[in-house]
Amino acid sequence: MGELCAGAPKLCLARVYNQDVLSDSFRNRIGVVLVSPRNPLNIGAAARAMANFGFSRLSVVAPYAPTWREARSAIGAPELLQSATECESLAEAVADCTLVVGTGTLTYRKPEQPVVQLPNLGPRIAQELDRGGRIALVFGPEKHGLTREDLSYCHILVEIPTDARQPSMNLGQAVAVCLYELAARSHHPSPANTSETSGPPSGTSGSLDLLTQVIEETMLAAGYSPKGMQSANRHDLRLMLRRLSLSAQDLRRALGLFRRILWRLKRFPARKISQN
């Protein structure tokens, strides 16, 4: 090794140090989403962690305005913060993603979606990248993390192993730990993989939300969803459709089916079941 690196120690070290970092083509399909962050230092730390591992897609959902202005206008703020996307809702931020990964601890919540330990996240991400998918890693506010409503937009929940005496982790640190796992410890997908091994592309989160809306309208037209249950039914529908892992093609078929049923219910209102 000494002879091989003679005369160019820095170049050799760089090659060894970065040999496991994901390529740009894969990193560009993985985004970080911060939901309602309130501390400009935490926002800056999250952006720094992204830059460390070569990720550039940052979305911020409903940020606290003074904090967001301070973070973006700070001296030396990286270009990543200047180009970050500001969204009004989590649904908007992840609409083009085929795999949405929520983060958090199970200490104070009962998960409603599959739970993946952080060391096992890499293969799941690699599988989605192989299929041509886009991934979002979602991090909640510093005080309480992602809410139950936020998590209903997530396909899986990833738990970072921590000591039970201090289960929560600083936002910037959580982003850094997760991105390190993806950048340096994950199984690296290969663009040459065939659809037979990686499967058809998944439907996007936005398409799933559209199907949820049409199913909900169909339930209302059929008198199936009482007013007091509509919010709970909507929540359960979002979770169920994400657990089904529908391909983009199957999602389009289901959407067409429910649109046809809805059209018939509206065309022949006399046949509707009375509203509860």
pLDDT digit string (tens) for 103-150?
988 777 788 999 998 988 988 898 898 888 999 999 999 888 899 999
Written as one letter, the residue type at 170 is: N
The pLDDT, as a whole number, for residue 167 is 77
| 115: Cα within 13 Å, side-chain hemisphere | 12
Q: What is the pTM of this model?
A: 0.83
Listed as ranges, residues in the chain with pLDDT below 70 are: 1-21, 74-77, 185-198, 270-276
The angle subtended at Cα 188 by Cα 208 and Cα 3, nearest 5°, is 160
> Residue 194: what pLDDT?
41
Between CA 110 and CA 45 the distance in angstroms is: 29
pLDDT score, position 74: 67
- The answer to whether residues 239 and 154 touch, using CB atoms and an 8 Å cutoff, is no
* 97, two tokens: 């993603």
- What secondary structure letter does DSSP report for 49? H
Task: Tally the C-alpha atoms within 13 A of residue 178's C-alpha that lie toward its C-beta.
Answer: 31
Beta-carbon count within 10 A of 23 CB: 11
Distances 266 to 29, 212, 214, 224, 261 between C-alpha atoms, Å: 40, 18, 13, 14, 9
pLDDT of residue 113: 92
Sheet of strand 85-87: strand arrangement: 85-87, 57-61, 30-35, 135-139, 99-104, 156-159, 115-117
